[in-house]
Amino acid sequence: MTHAPTEPATLPIPDDADGAPRRVGVEVELGGLTESQVVHIGADLFGGEIDQTGAYTYTLRDSAIGDVEVMLDTAFRDHAGGALAKAGLDVGRAVIPVEFVTEPLLPQTLGDIDRFCDALAEAGATGTQDGMLLGFGMHLNIAAAGRRAEDILPVLRAFALAEDGLRARTPIDPSRRLLPFVDPYPPRLLDALAAPDSADWDAGQMIDAYLHHAPSRNYALDMLPLFRDLDSDRVTAAIKGSESIKPRPAYHYRLPDARVDDPDWSVSGEWATWCEIEALAAQPDAVERLAAAWRRYRDRLVPIPGRWSGLSAEILAEEEVLQ
C-alpha cells in the first residue's frame, strides 16, 4: 500500500519574522505495532541510532529526518508498570495507540513522513477506520509566522470561520466523535471573532476572547501553547492548571483521524489543508465575507443547526480558497 505521491504544499508566508523557514512538527498515532517495531522501521528507512529511554519509549537519534520519539500513548504508559498491566497491553496492542513524534521539519520533507507511514502500514499498522474504538489522531505543530497579533489573529479567525466548512468536506470518523478533542469552537467564540472590530484587536484582546470563550485544549486548533508563549501570565491566571501547558511559538493543529493504512490519506494531504487555511487568512476580504455571513446566520431568530457548515462551504468554494 502506497499513498499517492504529492509534493507538499507551500505556506503563503514560508518564513518567520527572522527570515528562517517555518517548520512543522508531526505526531501520528497508530495501532497494530509495538514501539520497538515502529522505531526499527524508522531506522531501516532513515538510519540513525536507536535509544530505548524507558519501558515503552524509544528515540531514533540523528536519522535523516532528525530525532524521532516513539512511545506508547501517555494514558496507557503511565499505568503499565505491573505484570498484569503489561499482559493487558500485549492483548490490546491492536487498539492501544503508539505514537511517533518528529522534531520540527521543513515542510518539503513531509513526503518522508508519508513514506514512513507507508512502511508502517506494510508492517501491519492500523488507522482510525479499522474499528469503532480505534481513535487515532495526528497533530501538526506549525511555527507561527510571527508573534504579533497581526500575524496570528487572521489565522485564528480564518480557521474558526472555516472550520465547519472543512468538517463538511472531510467528515470525522465516527469513532473520533466519541472523544472530546474533536469539538468545534463554541459559537460564542465565533461571535467574538466575527465582530466588525475584531480584525483590529491587539494581542491582549485576542487572547482574552479565546480564554473567555474557549478555555480548553479540546479543539482542533489548540491556541493555548502559542498564547502561553505570547503571554504566559495571562493564560495561567485565567485557566487553572495551565502551568502544565508547554509554551510553544506554534499553532497546535489537532487532526481527528490518522489513517496510516488508508491509501487516500497522507500527512502531506493534511498539511495541504493547513496551507489552505493560511491562504484564506491572507485574503482579508474572504475572511470578512465569512464573518458577515456568520453574523447574519446568528441574527436569525432560531439559527438552523448544521446550516452554517453548508453556508461556509459555499463561500469557501466561491472564493476558491479551499480546494
More confident: 258 or 168: 258
Which residue, of 95, 126, 157, is where some domain finishes?
Answer: 126
Tell me: do 179 and 308 sit in the same domain: yes
Q: CB–CB of 94/31 below 8 Å?
A: yes
**Res. 42: pLDDT tops 80:** yes
Position 84 confidence tier, pLDDT thresholds 50, 70, 90? very low
**Res. 83: pLDDT tops 50:** no
Does the residue 302 lie in any domain? yes
pLDDT recorded at residue 176: 44
Q: Which of 93, 45, 50 is nearest to 69 (CA)?
A: 50
pLDDT recorded at residue 320: 80
DSSP string, 80-101: --SHHHHHHHHHTTTTS-EEEE
Rounded to an integer, the average pLDDT of 15-37 is: 96
Tell me: do 219 and 299 sit in the same domain: yes
Question: Whole-angstrom Cα distance, residue 269 to residue 280?
Answer: 17
Tell me: do 163 and 53 sit in the same domain: no
Question: Whole-angstrom Cα distance, residue 98 to residue 73?
Answer: 5
Does the residue 134 lie in any domain? no
Position 300 confidence tier, pLDDT thresholds 50, 70, 90? confident
**Res. 130: pLDDT tops 90:** no
Count of structural domains within the chain: 2
Tell me: do 302 and 189 sit in the same domain: yes
Tell me: do 186 and 225 sit in the same domain: yes
More confident: 79 or 314: 314
Does the residue 204 lie in any domain? yes
**Res. 37: pLDDT tops 60:** yes
**Res. 123: pLDDT tops 60:** yes
Does the residue 95 lie in any domain? yes
Rounded to an integer, the average pLDDT of 269-296 is: 96
Tell me: do 162 and 210 sit in the same domain: yes
Tell me: do 44 and 186 sit in the same domain: no
Position 321 confidence tier, pLDDT thresholds 50, 70, 90? confident
Does the residue 142 lie in any domain? no
What grid cell was written down for 111?
Answer: 513526503
pLDDT recorded at residue 136: 82
Does the residue 137 lie in any domain? no
User: 193-211: per-residue pLDDT in tens?
Assistant: 999 999 999 999 999 999 9
CB neighbour list of residue 27: distance below 8 Å, 6 or more residues apart: 99, 100, 101, 102, 138, 139, 140, 141
Rounded to an integer, the average pLDDT of 95-123 is: 95
Which residues form the domain of 74? 21-126
Tell me: do 182 and 91 sit in the same domain: no
Does the residue 252 lie in any domain? no
Tell me: do 105 and 157 sit in the same domain: no
Tell me: do 47 and 171 sit in the same domain: no
Which residue, of 126, 161, 184, is where some domain finishes?
Answer: 126
User: 131-190: per-residue pLDDT in tens?
Assistant: 445 568 899 999 999 999 999 999 999 999 999 988 777 655 554 444 444 689 999 999
pLDDT recorded at residue 245: 94
Tell me: do 153 and 270 sit in the same domain: yes
Does the residue 178 lie in any domain? yes
Average pLDDT, the chain: 88
- Reduced to 3 states, what is the DSSP secondary structure of residue 13? coil
Tell me: do 93 and 155 sit in the same domain: no
User: 232-254: per-residue pLDDT in tens?
Assistant: 999 999 998 888 999 999 999 99
Position 88 confidence tier, pLDDT thresholds 50, 70, 90? low
